[in-house]
Amino acid sequence: MAYERLEGGGAPPSAALVTGGASGIGAATVAALRADGTRVAVLDRTQPSHETDGVRSFIADLADPDAARDVVDTIAAEWGRLDVLVNCAGISGAMPVHETTDDAWARMIDVNLSAAFRTSRAALPHLARTRGCIINVVSTIALRGYPAQAAYAASKAGLVGLTRQMAADYGADGVRVNAVAPGVTDTPLTSSRFLSDPEWVADVVGPVPLQRAARVEDIAGAIRFLASSEAAYITGQVLAVDGGVSTSSLSAVPRRPQFASSLTVSP
């Protein structure tokens, strides 16, 4: 890549872009980065619930191919640098393959994988100037099977592959690329189920060695670490933040549905 290296890359006042930063893990990540004095741009479909000094919000749908590029260009013009990109925006949906429509598949891949690709592509020249980094938020579902998550698992597994490939491609430019894979996490989207569905809680939390779901701050702390100078020699890695499930002999997969009764063969 052709670029003019900035001196003191990574040192305050650094600048970050967090997609999906209006709520949940993204909002916790914004708070964690701000605690280090990093200026943060938030790109989301909704307005953050609150804004603080040093936070700039952009409302856009990452399904729009131009959204990421426009925001990155604006940040670079206003702040003169970009040091950290956190690709946190994503959607989910529980569907096995035979129930997944082409539209549902395309939407999942576009938002969870293609949008991260486009945002990274726009950010890479700026990150090369600052010896910056990318952290992709994937899922432990990308690393192991889980019932009825075909499109979601494929999109997140694709993002794992993209993480490792970008790490290999851009390490010589000083750009680190890693991923964080959360396990079951108590977020605003799941909190009601934690309160109302004890059977589901037993399924997903029971096998966790630490015997609790992750808090959004747990995931944000891992992202903060990977964005810091303390992780200066870490790239191409997927850090599972799952309370130990991925290293346990216990299975975190709940009761497995049987689909045979719903599979039909055209005459």
State the chain's mean pLDDT as an integer.
87
pLDDT tens string 165-211 = 999 999 999 999 999 999 888 887 677 777 778 887 888 788 888 88
CB neighbourhood size of 9 (10 A): 16
For residue 12, what pLDDT is reported? 46
Annotated catalytic sites, by residue?
152
State the pLDDT at residue 232: 97
pLDDT at residue 237, as a whole number: 98
Domains and CATH numbers, the chain: 15-184+216-245 (3.40.50.720)
Confidence (pLDDT) at 10: 43
Alpha-carbon distance 250 to 217, whole Å? 25
Buried b (16+ CB within 10 A) or exposed e, 148-167: bbbbbbbbbbbbbebbbebb
User: What are the residue ranges in the chain where pLDDT is below 50?
Assistant: 8-10, 12
Q: CB–CB of 171/131 below 8 Å?
A: no
